Structure 1
Amino acid sequence: MGIRNANVEDFQQISLLLNQLDYQDTEPFIKEKVEIFLMDPNEVLLVFEDDKSVIALISVHFIPQLAVKGDFARISYFAVDKNIRSKGIGRKIEEYCTDLAIKRQCDRIEVHCHSRRKDAHRFYRRQGFTESPEYFIKMLP
């Protein structure tokens, strides 16, 4: 039981976890996406495995910075199986990623978390995150 680097064979269990976050229908492309993440030196895709089942995942993207000394780490996706939340697994994964970010000379971790995910907001606040409300997106065709 514990945190490990994801591998391509985890793609189906990763897809199920993403489904719990309302990312529907990832099955047709998730294997290819996992392969891309695993080849990117600025991307870390981790899973938490319990009894050979993936019960949580996190992806962290490391973003080099030009104008500030420290780089940024961005949590792209973070899911803990809905049946086992609030048991400390998310905290362990987030703390593991914080250590990775420090080792990669990052001075911050950022995460975008939709306003409807109130439980996730409470989790991030407990972990020391503060809200930075200005966030803009431009949808592309």
Structure 2
Amino acid sequence: MIRNADTQDTSFVYACLCNLEDCTLDRKVFEAGYKQQLADTSLSMLVLEHEKQPCGYMSIRTLYHLHHCARIAVIEELYISRNARGNGWGRAMMEYAVQYAQAQGCVQLELSSSCAREGAHAFYKRVGMSCSHYKFTRNI
């Protein structure tokens, strides 16, 4: 089951994103940002449950892009718990994202993935995504 995240999911989502980023995020800063994002109507924060246990998290944002002259959806974060991988949950989350984006009137679904996550890149290609852009970043 995929459902909207809420404040009771804070610890689970925190653990997911610490694992995703392979670091320990500042818990107080995270919690403040989490509450802000729960209130953000352009962002949907979702938890995947199996047998009433959370095992995945995804956030997806919709916005209007002038260069597309249309709405697009951007998966900001996607994480499946390590012990839940290989069961089709990532594919289910991606299918949900496509359906969600279509229901929001979006013409494209995008996501970024770290260059080091080669396994994730292969997964995204298997579920129909293509690598059509570069993303450049600069720490400031």
User: Shared fold (TM-score greater than 0.5)?
Assistant: yes
Question: What is the match of residue 129 of structure 1?
Answer: 129
Alignment-mate amino acid for residue 35 of structure 2? E
Deviating above 4 A after TM superposition, structure 1's stretches of 4 or more consecutive aligned residues are none
After superposition, the Cα gap between the structure-2 partners of 1:132 and 1:59, relative to the gap in structure 1 and judged at 3 Å, is same
Distance 2:133 2:99 in 1: 25
Distance 1:49 1:33 in 2: 23
SS of 1:116's equivalent in the other structure is: coil
Deviation per CA, 1:91-130: give whole Å up to 9, x if none: 1111111111011111111111011111111110011111
After superposition, the Cα gap between the structure-2 partners of 1:85 and 1:26, relative to the gap in structure 1 and judged at 3 Å, is farther
Give the stretch that moved more between structures: 22-31 or 7-16: 22-31
SS of 1:123's equivalent in the other structure is: helix
SS of 1:134's equivalent in the other structure is: coil
Question: What is the match of residue 72 of structure 1?
Answer: 72
Distance 2:38 2:47 in 1: 12
How much has 1:138 moved relative to structure 2? 3.0
Question: What is the match of residue 82 of structure 1?
Answer: 82
TM score, norm. by length of structure 1: 0.90
Task: Report the count of equivalent residues.
Answer: 139
Question: What is the match of residue 15 of structure 1?
Answer: 14
Alignment-mate amino acid for residue 93 of structure 2? I
TM score, norm. by length of structure 2: 0.91
User: Percent sequence identity over matched residues?
Assistant: 27
Please, what is the CA RMSD of the aligned residues? 1.5
